[in-house]
Structure 1
């Protein structure tokens, strides 16, 4: 039987915590219905027996506290809420225990913003990790040694797992069920809980806002220029010359400040405007393409799919509010 420790951090988001527990314990019920023994021993593990979560609205009564668990097989870290640096400080006592368990052979999974607490242990350094797309810039700033993958719903690497934003944690739990209880059980759980199994990308959900929480004023002005001139074809050379900075130095400073190269930033700004137009208007794809400064259909579609995971037509069909009710 696999021992699963679902952590109950102070300020955890109740949904990912209880949703995980419910899915995993339901799998045990599936086995019991077949007159087979359960496969998971699921425990809620806290720093104390009672832990306030979801901004103090709820209190979770844990099964055990950290000192009671000397060995576990899988640690699940649910999403945490509020100021992330403060949340990590409040839950710092989990960190040495997670490290010890990982070194002893336990696997570790983070759900959404739980990635911040997992990354604070250092066990993800040099590995891939996913989290909520809204926290991308903060994560890169706090944990530059971790390879953040913005597009992935799930990562699975050397006993470390993570999931993307919000309710995509359900896909990671299904992935873990499939891995440890079999594909048949994962499919059954997906059907019973009406979860779309097999989702791999969160790219189509991302809203690009640009990273402006930095002190490099010429780079900020370059960002604003890009955002205010979406219809124009802007080159890196033009931007560097406009702000009187050598190209290589400009590219270095831009990447350091924004976590994007200038070309990536230009592309993401243009595609974000294209997405909003496809969501809210009846313009066809070519009209939208011209509106954001592209003249090459193949290039536009290639960049659009790279950033969103969908073709422009598929994106429009999925998100356009007028088409949705026709």
Structure 2
């Protein structure tokens, strides 16, 4: 039987940490039970382990007892690192012991999976240097600043590279757990667990959940002026060349400084700001896709749709249907109308139903 260690951090945690630990523990034990029902042996011995016998969460609201200390575990095959507190800046003494143990186990053949901001502990080991990594979108600026050698991919729900797995924010740790069940057990076991715990199978992106606030945590005043100009002229078609000239900077130097300050090229930043504004309009207003498009400075429907999909992994219409309550109600009303006379008025694209008879 293989050994699976779910790490209990020594502080620097919150209630999400506890959710990750309990969620992973339940899902892997359910996968073991599925194997047993099929007449097979359990795949993993699942064990909760930390540097001490007990850890507290939520300012002492809840406590969790470790089944063993990491010093007692000589060999493990898979390590799960749960979410940590968002204020994670420097690893604490107890978590440093965990990180050192994780590094030793990885070098001894173990695989590692970090959930949400657990990527901070994993990155502190150096094992993520040069590798892709995902974490919660809300801490991406801090993560990039602390770990510049890691190739951060906040749009990815899951990364899988050289025996190291990471995933995005919040309760998407459930998707990582299902992913690992499929990887280690079987597709059938993953489907079973997804149904038991009602977790969406095969999610690939967390792009639609990202709220882009603009990377302002830097000291480059010229770039801050450029960012302010972009945000104040959303309805215009902005030329990056003109913007750099306006700030008396050469284009090459402007691009270099912009990337260093924000992590995005000027064009990428411009697109993200415009699409974030479009998302808010689609969520909260009754404006048409074209009205929203013009509002953020696009005149080409195809170009707008392509950029929107690149950033959110959804089309503008799909996004509106998902997040605008009025659009959802209208969609269901139109589906009913559509079903009444679809023989005489066929609609080929199901997403056209929402605008049918409009």
* Same fold flag (TM > 0.5): yes
Which is higher, the Rg of structure 1 or of structure 2? Answer: 2
Q: What is the match of residue 107 of structure 1? A: 111
Q: Report the Cα distance in structure 2 between the residues aligned to 1:60 and 1:110, rounded to whole angstroms.
A: 19
Q: For 1:119-158, list aligned pairs within 5 A.
A: 119-158=123-162
Q: Structure 1: where are the runs of 5+ without partners? A: none
SS at match of 2:46: strand
Q: How does 1:37-186 map to 2 (within 5 A)?
A: 37-86=41-90, 88=92, 90-186=94-190
3-state SS in 2 of match to 1:92: helix
Q: Over residues 181-208 of structure 1, what are the superposed CA-to-partner deviations in whole Å (9 max), with x where a residue is unaligned?
A: 1110000000000111010000011100
The corresponding residue for 1:7 is 7
CA RMSD of aligned residues (A): 1.3
TM-score (norm 2): 0.88
Using structure 1 for the length normalisation, give the TM-score.
Answer: 0.97
Instruction: Say whether the 8 Å CA contact 1:112–1:165 is kept in structure 2.
Output: yes
| Equivalent position SS for 1:56 | coil
Distance (whole Å) between structure 1 residues aligned to residue 282 and residue 308 of structure 2: 12
* 8 Å contact from structure 2 (residues 86, 117) kept in 1: no
Distance 2:22 2:58 in 1: 12
Q: Contact 1:7–1:75 at 8 Å: present in 2 too? A: yes
Distance 1:82 1:317, change over 3 A: closer
* Contact 1:11 1:54 (C-alpha < 8 Å) held by counterparts: no
CA deviation profile, 1:138-181 (whole Å, cap 9, x unmatched):
11111111111121111111100011111111111111111111
Alignment of 1:165-314 (within 5 A): 165-314=169-318
SS at match of 2:230: helix
Deviates more, 1:77-86 or 1:174-183: 77-86
| Separation in 1, partners of 2:303, 2:181 | 40
Query: Is the 8 Å Cα contact of residues 113 and 132 (structure 1) preserved in structure 2?
Result: yes
Quote the Cα distance in structure 2 between the aligned partners of 1:90 and 1:105.
23
SS at match of 2:116: coil
Distance 2:92 2:135 in 1: 15
1:90 is displaced (CA, Å) by 4.9
Deviation readout 1:41-62 (Å, 9 max, x if unpaired) = 0001101011123443221100
Deviation at 1:87, TM superposition (A): 5.1
What displacement does 1:236 show?
Answer: 1.2
Q: 2:51, 2:293 → 1: CA distance?
A: 53
Shift of 1:33: 2.8
Paired residues of 1:278 and 1:316 also in contact (CA < 8 A): yes
Question: In structure 1, the residue corresponding to 2:325 is in which secondary structure?
Answer: coil
Tell me the distance in 1 between the aligned counterparts of 2:231 and 2:34. Answer: 53
- 2:319 pairs, out of 308, 315, 318, with 315
Indicate if the aligned counterparts of 1:45 and 1:62 stay in contact, CA closer than 8 A: yes
2: distance between equivalents of 1:58 and 1:229?
49
Offset, 1:242: 1.3
Deviation, structure 1 residue 34 = 3.3
CA distance, structure 2, for counterparts of residue 129 and residue 196 of structure 1: 21
